[in-house]
Structure 1
């Protein structure tokens, strides 16, 4: 055991779990710290005893006194993998007077934030549906919102008023107003360390901002048209931006250098993200295709052409082994990220699918559609497991919480619906 581990005081050693692994929480030098153990290859057939032995060999924090606790969490993860869940409508929240633009959970799913055309953001308690905070100060549409996951103590909001605001998630006080863009802010994201926030704008630039000081760190220029999406990789070393100029750009965060300009799409980029190990980038475009790119070389390794209309959203599962694609043709598809094989077609929506995401367990996909419904799908078969109904206008946003036992849907009818799992293992 190295010297940094000696003398640690464990408090709730295993405190949080998800399909990516388990998270150790401990105290060192008077500070609470966390460390994750990846379990990307965990299946329902994995022997927990053998897995714990492997973990102990590489992780000195797992002492013999913690073995049974680790086994129990592995068992609970396997239970979550073993079956698909059913959800019931717990709450409908009437959130704004004008249309919503975006919704987002904090990590635990105990709170969610909404942005709106009414220039306000609001924070809500997921269980009660009660408003906790109203974040006021923007002078135009709030187009992008985010918690600084995993910490959850700050919120970022981006507006058509050309500013990004950083807020205290507990009090609702505005910590910083970030000014510098010359046009509307369309998208934003915190880095994993919550030290930086990135913003993308109609002015064709992205900016990096220091969260603590509220100061601009860098302006990233390379696109010739508005930036519509951006995403950090899982370690925060790179940022990918997608633009209506039909290209993606990969940036080195530390040096602020343009690493690659990814060209090949024939339509604007709808979304892009890295996989978990930062080796691949997936991009969706209004040219009806999805592309996979090597992050290191910038080489396009596959074009996934499974749809007859625009690709509106794309995502990796938590292991980076699968890609889900949502299209304006009313269908979605699932591809193997290594073999580029189409594994499943998700058919049943009667309108375009604008949002798609995997459950944390990876066995279920959630889609949001203009047909006023959201649907849950089996990843392996593509079969529809459940239709979530109740909204009166199109659903433009949907998300799972970190545990996968709560879903939120946001609609043009100015409401959010909160769905809870019926059958928690």
Structure 2
């Protein structure tokens, strides 16, 4: 490669075979979201034990769930623009360290209001970490394998959630509910050290920020050791914007996609967090044991893991908008089916598995799709703010679970209502796909 050549970062990465260095980045980000998933799911599994120890009502549990999710929302809104301004790595390391300390401190809560406050701070760190793992992974992946690699990385969330359920069942019986929070704090503290040592900064961000070419070349050399990058200069396809990353989301070419992604994330995460937070309690109400309810609920996370991998593979081969639209529509059907099968653990497990496959798998796919939709200078903000709006949906879902329980609805009616937002998410994905296809045709005609 001529030393004087100007190298486009996206083209360079797309032309290289997947390297061990890129695999390491995927693995590190996988570990971040796995710990995120562990912590997010754990609060739903330890809630019955907290309720019993402190003699709480379902109404008392609602702000406990809502505090963590409110923190996730605030963290996404706060840390996305910071990552576009100061870099993905620094925000990731800080976020992981922050939520590790907060989770560890929450294990020593002596009163409900203290636990609520610490759950908010834990969520704040988690909210900054997860969207930036999507952004960083996306920016290091070749385009033809991006959806599959991002969704595979994000399987860490569902696997971590499943581990949270399995670990909680054993830990609570042996050591009490506080032990789960201790584990959820120690793991991110240890991981933050690895991230500081091993995780690279996004080369796309380094170019946009005007950092030294030598630093960019050193990172690219780890992707393609055989490439001669001495003296090269580097570019990205997008022009650097001088406006606020948040304002950039509402430019004419992005505003419709931004609003449709927001609506999709809101509806999708409403369903996911309502089920994650309240499904063990709802199943317990049918007479199932705590252990059986936990195991059935775990199938939601297992299905989500497999769904993310399969849907990511399909998104790289077919129109990703239509893949997600179909999956979300099926999610609504399977969620509704849970209500009719809840008193039969085996059949309920099947319905819960496929509900997780479709809705959790689709949410992971929507994250990957949003990362590809936004340009580099507002990508972290775009992904984070979509997640932030989605977290608002998760707060509505988690708090709304208590309201729905108090209404005395039958299980079939209850789960049919929960399935409606999934159908709406499918509609928004279909709308976005049709809009982007029409826009592509207009550009082709104009050229």
TM-score, normalising length: structure 2? 0.22
Bigger fraction of residues in strand: 1
Whose relative contact order is higher, 1 or 2, with alpha carbons under 8 Å and at least 6 apart? Answer: 2
Larger helix fraction of residues:
2
- Return the TM-score normalized by structure 1: 0.23
